[in-house]
Homo-oligomer: A and B are copies of this chain.
């Protein structure tokens, strides 16, 4: 599989990608990048998977611990990949199992994007 443009932003780049939504209208480019993160949480299955990882002890969980969300195992893997590509999760293999972990900085950025807009 020689897909050259496979991984666009697997570098989470925890920088403040996002000015608060009420500070000024987002540019097309800012919106494009920010929407990727929101879209990643815009699917019920992904939201459950993410919540399962986030609520697990240490903020990380094995795939086998969170696969019970009502879809097939390949679909779980597909959604975890999406969350990873959006920078919300990172993964690490430890022997037989693969562990996914939340990226708190990205989460904080998204949260402030919203709460600052709400309180200002």
Contacts and interface: CB of A to CB of B under 8 A. Distances in A.
Given A50-B21, A52-B25, A112-B115, A39 B43 contact: yes
B55 A22 contact: yes
Count of identical protomers in the assembly: 2
A31 to B, nearest CB: 4
- Measured as residues with beta carbon below 8 angstroms from the partner, the interface class of chain A is 35 or more
A47 interface: yes
A51 B31 contact: yes
Contacts of A55: 21-25
Interface string A27-66: 1100110111011111111111011101100010000001
Interface of A: 21-28, 31-32, 34-36, 38-48, 50-52, 54-55, 59, 66, 69-70, 102, 104-105, 107-108, 110-119
